[in-house]
Amino acid sequence: MRVLNLKAVIQDTVKNRLVNIDKKDEVARMRVIKQTHRVAPVLLEIQEFLQSQKER
C-alpha cells in the first residue's frame, strides 16, 4: 500500500482551487481555506494511522 504525502496533496489541492477562484471573490477564497482547515487534521490523522500500520 502506498502512503501519499497528504500534506502536499492538500496544499496542491488548495492552491489549484484558489487559482480557479476569481481574485476579487474573497468570500469564496475564505470558504476554501476554512474547508481545508476543517479537513486537514483528519487527513493527517489518517496518514499517521496508515504509517503506524505499515511499520508493524
DSSP collapsed to 3 states, 4-37: CCHHHHHHHHHHHHHHHCCCCCHHHHHHHHHHHH
Q: Are 3 and 54 in contact (CB under 8 A)?
A: yes
Distance between CA atoms of residues 18 and 22, nearest Å: 8
pTM across the whole model:
0.46
Give the separation between CA 51 and CA 29, rounded to whole angstroms. 32
Please name the amino acid found at residue 18: L
Per-residue pLDDT for the chain (56 aa), expressed as one digit of tens each?
A: 455 677 777 778 778 877 777 777 888 888 888 888 888 888 888 888 888 888 77
